[in-house]
Amino acid sequence: MKDNDNLVKMANHIAHYFESEPDRQVAVQGLRQHLHSFWTPAMLKQLDEKAQGEAAKQLDPLVMRALQA
């Protein structure tokens, strides 16, 4: 598995944690905040590149919304 694929997997796991939040906007903001607090700029850039490509199909919709927020 490539490192970038691992980023998709990690982002989806974090999104799964935030799925329990009933308010979707709060979940998106929480996920976005987590990514920006704990991921390096390089990781965020790679994830954003994945979201623009074929891997977008593998990303949880909550991750996609957090990246677009």
Where do the structural domains in the chain lie, given as residue ranges?
3-68
pTM here? 0.87
Rounded Cα–Cα distance for residues 63 and 14 (Å): 9
Mean residue pLDDT across the chain: 93
What are residue 42's phi and psi, to 5 degrees?
A: -65, -40
Find the helix packing angle between 41-52 and 3-18, rounded to 10°: 90
pLDDT of residue 2: 59
Q: What is the mean pLDDT of residues 11-35?
A: 97
Rg (CA), the chain: 11
